């Protein structure tokens, strides 16, 4: 367990990881770090819902990936708590390099896609970074925040980020190999809670959207897809 001799306290932080709400191209294009992709109307509703679910939770600070969709999501939460949003570059989206801006339909046909799915841990996106590098900077960002906010009783810390980054942080928390990180689902507007600094990190909540709408939509889509294939 970490101990801060200067302040005489254990350094423990409750971290609430919030995935940004939907954009107009979520699920269609790999936007990555490209600018100009803010929240859609539905995305703003998801961000507002996240803010409402956190309205009764004391917060020390609110951080965000610098990408517009994350900052916009964080601002809904910040407004409800009368706080500012601070951007943290290390919480940004994975650097997908040359794949940014491409449609998923096109990427599925790319020979590199099969390599990514088979061994994601060491896959390097052309002109970008590896998923392992992304996890490393994300974990370091969490450690930096823990040092800045060592008092658990003072409130939780919110960090708005992206699906892959949140999944990688959960995988690190659980000791799950990077090659298995895609087994974790993180829906738009969902909240995932971690407790870090007191011995081994703990997963407090995962992919919380306050309901089962996401699961319902997923099942509905798969059902319609199945019917289409059977015709």
CATH code of the domain containing 87: 3.40.50.1240
Q: Indicate if the pLDDT at residue 63 is higher than 60.
A: yes
| pLDDT tens per residue, range 97-113 | 999 999 999 999 999 99
Confidence at 3, pLDDT banded by 50, 70, 90: very low
Long-range contacts of 42-46 (CB under 8 A, 24+ apart): 43/69, 43/72, 43/73, 43/188, 43/189, 44/72, 44/76, 45/21, 46/21, 46/22, 46/73, 46/188, 46/189
The domain of 90 spans: 3-230
DSSP E strands: which ranges in the chain? 3-4, 9-10, 13-19, 59-64, 85-87, 156-161, 191-196, 202-208
Maximum C-alpha span of the chain: 69
Strand order across the beta sheet in which 85-87 lies = 85-87, 59-64, 156-161, 13-19, 191-196, 202-208
| pLDDT tens per residue, range 128-160 | 999 999 999 999 999 999 999 988 788 899 999
Provide the domain count of the chain.
1
Beta pairing, strands 9-10 & 3-4: antiparallel
**Per-residue pLDDT, 210:** 86
Dist CA 12 CA 17 (whole Å):
16
Considering only CA atoms, which of 173, 164, 67, 185 is closest in space to residue 121?
164
């Amino acid at each position: 367990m970490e101990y801060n001799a200067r302040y005489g306290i254990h350094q423990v932080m409750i971290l609430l990881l919030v995935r940004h709400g939907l954009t107009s191209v979520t699920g269609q294009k790999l936007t990555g770090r490209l600018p100009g992709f803010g929240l859609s109307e539905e995305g703003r509703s998801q961000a507002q819902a996240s803010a409402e679910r956190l309205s009764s939770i004391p917060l020390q600070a609110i951080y965000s990936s610098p990408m517009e969709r994350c900052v916009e999501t964080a601002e809904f939460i910040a407004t409800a708590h009368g706080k500012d949003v601070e951007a943290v570059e290390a919480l940004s989206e994975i650097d997908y390099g040359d794949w940014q801006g491409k449609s998923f339909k096109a990427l599925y046909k790319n020979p590199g896609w099969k390599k990514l799915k088979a061994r994601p841990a060491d896959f390097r996106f052309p002109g970008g970074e590896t998923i392992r590098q992304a996890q490393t900077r994300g974990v370091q960002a969490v450690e930096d925040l823990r040092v800045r906010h060592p008092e658990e009783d003072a409130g939780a810390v919110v960090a708005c980020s992206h699906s892959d980054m949140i999944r990688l942080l959960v995988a690190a928390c659980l000791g799950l190999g990077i090659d298995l990180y895609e087994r974790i689902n993180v829906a738009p507007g969902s909240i995932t809670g971690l407790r870090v600094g007191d011995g081994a990190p703990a997963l407090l909540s995962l992919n919380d959207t306050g309901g089962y709408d996401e699961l319902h939509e997923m099942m509905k889509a798969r059902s319609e897809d199945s019917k289409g294939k059977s015709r």
